[in-house]
Amino acid sequence: MRTPNGSPIRREAYRPLAYGVETVDLDFVLEAQATLVTNRMRCVRNPDSDAGPIVLLGDGLTLVSVRIDGAEPAPGQLRETGSGLEIDVNADSVVVEIVTRIDPSANLTLSGLYRSRGGYYTQCEAEGFRRITYFPDRPDVMARYTVRLEADAALCPVLLSNGNLLETGSLPNGRHFARWEDPFPKPSYLFALVAADLKALERRVTTMSGREVLLQVWVEARDLDRVDHAMESLIHSMRWDEETFGLELDLDRFMIVAVSDFNMGAMENKGLNIFNTKYVLANPQSGTDVDYENVESVVAHEYFHNWTGNRVTCRDWFQLTLKEGLTVFRDQQFSADMLARASDSPAAAASARAVTRIANVRVLRSAQFPEDAGPMAHPIRPDSYQEINNFYTATVYEKGSEVIRMLHTLLGKEGFRNGMDLYFSYHDGQAVTCDDFVGCMAEANGADLDLFMRWYSQAGTPRLKAEGVFDAADGSYTLTLSQRTPPTPGQADKLPLHIPVAVGLIGADGKDLPLQLEGEARAGDSTRILELKEASKSWRFTGLAAEPVPSILRGFSAPVILEVDENDARLAFRMAHDSDPFNRWDAAQRYMERVILALAADAAAGRQLEVPQAFGHAFRALLVNESLDPAFLAEILALPAETYLLECMPQADPAPLRAALMHLMRELGHAMQADFLDRYLDLEVDGDYRYHPADAGKRALRNLCLRYLTAWGGATAIDLAQKQFEHAGNMTERYGALAALVQSDAPARFDALAAFHEQYKDDALVLDKWFLLQASAWRWSEAAPATLEQVRALMDNPAFSLSNPNKVYSLLGGYFRGNAAEFHRPDGAGYAFWVEQVRALNKSNPQVASRMARALEGWRKFTPEIQARIRAVFETLAKDEGLSPDVAEIVGKALA
């Protein structure tokens, strides 16, 4: 059925198929345990390929019948292979009709056709279509689809598929049907159907060319009061893509469907996007500002795929970043523009954009950098995989987006747009490669991007070193940039990459200096992009009266780790003055990181912990700075992610790191209680909740102040949090208060948790937050209940279910991925629990199991004692019979 373990699929092995498919007519008779699928496809010979049979893939199907051009197959003409069927034909074009039977109710993998809360849903990316019918299930086979669906009219009043609705009608025995047609050829992974009891919010809008289109967001009736924001987000996304890239919706109807059981965030099926409810539903009482932001960006992401992914798709799955990196870049730009648009001055807009950029970089540092430093390290275009589902990674998505962003930086906004226009003019309707995309960028700009292509083939996070020398005699400053990428599994030797490095020089007064590069006529810019293409290169700036303070990698112009020798005073200086808001934030993060790592070393050595006074001063200066945008300030004052800090430790050790983080928060909360309190009181947002960046920024900073205060734990602080919890007018405030209480040692947290549970026990998405908070909570004293025992107890809560991914991600993910100090407890009980849960999930949902298994893949970064314990549990798992390819690949690579 599947590739056996240990025999990876290689990118180099790509060959076009002998036969493709031109049209597919699908007929679904939907029944809970026995759904009948009739697939009539016209298979046509591919002139660019060698001769061979029709090759069809199938997984877990019961074959009912096969007819070839209307006739029974001749003896020997049809073969069952390990992975599907092969059919020998002589003709250049034949009609193959295959009937299969599947059991959607028994399908817990959430791949293929499955059931959720009484409805039928599909998920076909990456290889789910072969779980529905026999098909050449790979993205380079693009066909036109028609679909007929038939189901019980009472249980499934709504019948949806891709494209345009042709016909509906009723049938005997309380059944009904619908017929759909998708006018655009598409790969099988973009096929979708939904048959369920849903209601839609509808809007009609006019596109840039004046066509009226119907937009629908389908949800369960009880959720109809939570869909306005998703609809608004969709309309904003449509406008943005028209204005930014000239890209218009190409269908008469565009649908979003929300489903409770879903492995990932959402899926861009042509004209019928299917979403995890988490990324559709939000109203003021159920969703936080962060949920609103996430809904907006995921709706945008899936909508943008219509062009970058669907109209132009991937030739093979190694090219995944072609659509994902590019589409993440597009959704990040959209989010930044949406924030900037709501600002009232250019400076405020720059700060708002930086907030989006900071959020992107936080994800990159906390999820992608660890991946790139571990056994799963891979280039954004991998060379091999055992299970493609394991490669929907932070590297392919987030680093992939950074690579596209570097092209945007190098070519400029217009140059990038010209490259995009050329890409669509050449490749609309095709399945292409990353080389095709970069080729268009190069051609449209007359640029040489050959060296740049190394970003697609080389794994690992480059280290960029910056050293400056000031020569007082001639007023010059020589900046030397050098790069080195550490080895990754299977890639020992690394080559220099093409890295755009945005650089500024700051004068003693805190203002940017005009930049004059030696030998260049042009001068005056305050930020320059230096292009490093070799292992090391120097640039000489002239005309400087005194030694400047360099500000390197402004805006995070490349996905690298910057190594620069800056003392505390310089970091404090840039924290106060850097004109680049991203770098200003980064200076604060670097300073905090330095302080935390020193505290952690002290904690590990049993020394007294003390927060350096100078850091306190720098921190306080920002806390009381009322000219800074609250959203930006909330980012500056927030601690770096624990997962990122673990990467930064010479030998990762979660317990002393946690002690350091707790100490820092407590001390700052205590020392600056009056300032935190002042700001807290000032930042109150009056009036009804609205999702607006200005209000959201205030709420974020206010909740953060509350966190520092409750970490300190004084009676006023706890009282404040309790009052906010009780009187909150929206979920952002209620959840903020609950989080502040749970992240404290106050006994009041137990009552708050109980009250929250009582209020939301029937609200799945809100309960996910409740599970997550408890699983990821810090333990502020030895007296606090052990987290592992609490997590176990929470698994017995009636609302918890191992077959619902959101629940698993909240409770188990919150513990495995969000609570290092508790998960890595020295008695190894956390790891034993991990083995148990990975085993259980492996049987029902390998994709989710693999995600949980990955929580320990970075085990080699830990202290030798911790390493020994984790190695042992990986070895235990490795001996299991029946590991899914998904989990087997992770375990195998972790031990390799």
User: Hey, which residues does 413 pair with through a beta bridge?
Assistant: none
How many Cα atoms are found within 13 Å in the side-chain-facing hemisphere of 851? 20
CA triplet 383, 385, 391: central angle to 5 degrees? 95
CB of 323 to ligand TRP, least distance (A): 8
Residues 750-779 interacting with ligand TRP (rule: CB under 6 A)? none
**Token representation of residue 333:** 């730009």
* Consecutive H or E run containing 217: strand 212-219
Q: Does 230 bind ligand TRP (CB under 6 A)?
A: no
Query: How far, in Å, CA of 329 to CA of 298, rounded?
Result: 12
H-run or E-run covering 206: strand 199-206
Query: In angstroms, what is the minimal distance from the CB of 249 to ligand TRP?
Result: 17
Rounded Cα distance between 62 and 132, Å, is 10
326 binds, among ligand TRP, Zn ion, none (CB under 5 to 8 A by kind): none
Helix H or strand E encompassing 888: helix 885-895
Residues 104 to 123: which contact ligand TRP by CB under 6 A?
123
- Which of 57-65, 195-203, 258-266, 763-771 is the region at the interface with ligand TRP (rule: CB under 6 A)? 258-266
- Among residues 320 and 766, whose Cβ is nearest to Zn ion? 320
Pick from Zn ion, ligand TRP, none: which does 264 bind, CB < 5 to 8 A by kind?
ligand TRP
Among 268, 316, 695, 733, binds ligand TRP (CB under 6 A): 268
Residue choice 234, 264, 532, 571 for contact with ligand TRP (CB under 6 A):
264
Q: Characterize 70-81 residue by residue with b for buried, 16 or more Cβ atoms within 10 angstroms of its Cβ, and e for exposed.
A: eeebeeeebeee
Sheet containing 143-152: order of strands: 62-68, 93-102, 35-45, 19-29, 143-152, 175-186, 164-171
- Rank residues 178 and 887 by Cβ distance to ligand TRP and give the closer one: 887
Residue of 241, 38, 277, 29 whose CA lies nearest to 135: 38
Length of the chain counted residue by residue: 896
The CA distance from 883 to 881, in Å, is 6
Question: Which of 304, 392, 477, 771 lies at the binding interface for ligand TRP (CB under 6 A)?
Answer: 392
At residue 56, the 3 state secondary structure works out as strand
Task: Provide the token pair at 347.
Answer: 């400076």
- Cβ at position 471, least distance to ligand TRP in Å: 51
Q: Rg of the chain's alpha carbons, rounded to an integer?
A: 28
Q: Which of 25, 125, 586, 857 binds ligand TRP (CB under 6 A)?
A: 125
Closest distance of CB 848 from ligand TRP, Å: 11
Q: Which of 293, 302, 635, 642 is catalytic?
A: 302
Q: Which strands form 212-219's sheet, in the order they lie side by side? A: 199-206, 212-219, 253-259, 272-276, 266-267
To the nearest 10 degrees (0 to 180), the angle between helices 748-760 and 764-775 is: 160
Tell me the C-alpha distance between 309 and 326, whole Å.
9
**Separation CA 490–CA 513 (nearest Å):** 44
266 near ligand TRP, judged by CB under 6 A: yes
Q: For ligand TRP, give the closer residue by CB, 136 or 187.
A: 187
Pairing verdict, β 84-87 and 54-57: antiparallel
Considering beta carbons, is residue 392 or 455 the nearer one to ligand TRP? 392
Of 288-296, 326-334, 781-789, 833-841, the window that binds Zn ion (rule: CB under 5 A) is 326-334
Report the Cα 783 to chain-centroid distance in Å: 37
Q: What is the spatial distance between Cα 483 and Cα 477, in angstroms, rounded to a whole number?
A: 20
Taking the complex as a whole, the smallest distance from the CB of residue 326 to ligand TRP amounts, in Å, to 11
Q: Which residue has the tokens 């003896």?
A: 75
Nearer to ligand TRP, 194 or 791 (CB): 194
**x/- string (CB under 6 A) for ligand TRP, residues 309-348?**
---------------x------------------------
Our CB check for ligand TRP shows the closer of 266 and 739 to be 266
Minimal distance, residue 49 CB to ligand TRP, in Å: 27
220, interface contact from Zn ion, ligand TRP, none, CB < 5-8 Å by kind: none
Q: Are 709 and 673 in contact (CB under 8 A)?
A: yes
**Nearest approach, Cβ of residue 123 and ligand TRP (Å):** 5
What 8-state DSSP symbol labels residue 164?
E
Q: Closest separation between CB of residue 328 and Zn ion, Å?
A: 7
> What residue 41 binds from Zn ion, ligand TRP, none (CB within 5 to 8 A, per partner kind)?
none
Q: How far is CA 460 from CA 247, 492, 533, 593, in A?
A: 34, 10, 17, 22
DSSP line for 329-375: HHHHHHHHHHHHHT-SSHHHHHHHHHHHHHHHHHHIIIIIHHHHTST
387 interacts with ligand TRP by CB under 6 A: no
Q: Please identify, using beta-carbon distances, which residue of 326 and 339 lies nearer to ligand TRP.
A: 326
Rounded alpha-carbon distances, angstroms, from residue 444 to 437, 439, 441, 451: 11, 8, 5, 17
| Contact pattern for Zn ion over residues 281 through 320, marking x by CB under 5 A | ----------------------------------------
* Least Cβ distance, residue 268 to Zn ion (angstroms): 6
Nearer to ligand TRP, 485 or 810 (CB): 810
The interface region with ligand TRP, picked from 97-105, 265-273, 443-451, 622-630 by CB under 6 A, is 265-273
* Closest CB to ligand TRP: residue number: 264
Is 822 one of the binding residues for ligand TRP (CB under 6 A)?
Answer: no
Asked if 267 is part of the footprint of ligand TRP (rule: CB under 6 A), the reply reads yes
Number of residues that bind ligand TRP (CB under 6 A): 13
Q: Does the annotation count 889 as an active-site position?
A: no
Q: Which does 398 bind (CB under 5 to 8 A by kind): Zn ion, ligand TRP, none?
A: none
392/834 with CB nearer ligand TRP: 392
In 3D space, the residue among 858, 757, 767 whose CA is nearest the CA of residue 809 turns out to be: 767
Minimum CB–partner distance for residue 302 and ligand TRP (Å): 6
- Contacts with Zn ion: how many residues (CB under 5 A)? 2
Query: Which residues form the interface with ligand TRP (CB under 6 A)?
Result: 123, 125-126, 263-264, 266-268, 301-302, 324, 389, 392
Query: Which residues form the interface with Zn ion (CB under 5 A)?
Result: 324, 327
* Residue numbers annotated as active site: 302
